[in-house]
Amino acid sequence: MTGQEWHPVVDTLHRDGMEDFPALPLLWTVQELAQYLGTGRRYVYRLTSERRIRSVRVGRTVRFRPEDVAAWLDAETRDRVEPKRQGRPRRVA
């Protein structure tokens, strides 16, 4: 990172002389995804090795599409579960 705080906004990549080509989505690194999730890099590597999250291999590195991360987060999100009732069980007469 360049000293600026990273912000997980989907940017597009435009290079000089490539105006005729569609913009490419930014691919997140393992470090960027770990920072976004508030976890360590080891957890991200484990998600990848267990194929629980989609990834893209670029040479020897692993990258992540923001839309794949969003889909994984949606799949991992669970509805709120009401807590079990506390106290003594009722007697049935």
- 93 residues of the chain, pLDDT tens digit each: 445 454 444 445 555 566 666 777 789 999 999 999 999 999 999 999 999 999 999 999 999 999 999 999 999 988 777 777 777 767 776
Q: How many CA atoms lie within 13 A of 9 on its CB side?
A: 6
In a domain, 93, yes or no: no
Q: Residue 43 domain-assigned?
A: yes
Q: How many domains does the chain have?
A: 1
pLDDT value of residue 92 = 75
Examine residue 61 and state whether it is found in any structural domain, yes or no.
Answer: yes
Radius of gyration of the chain (CA): 21
Provide the whole-model pTM: 0.62
Q: Residue 31 belongs to what domain range? A: 24-75
Helix (H) or strand (E) segment spanning residue 12: strand 12-13
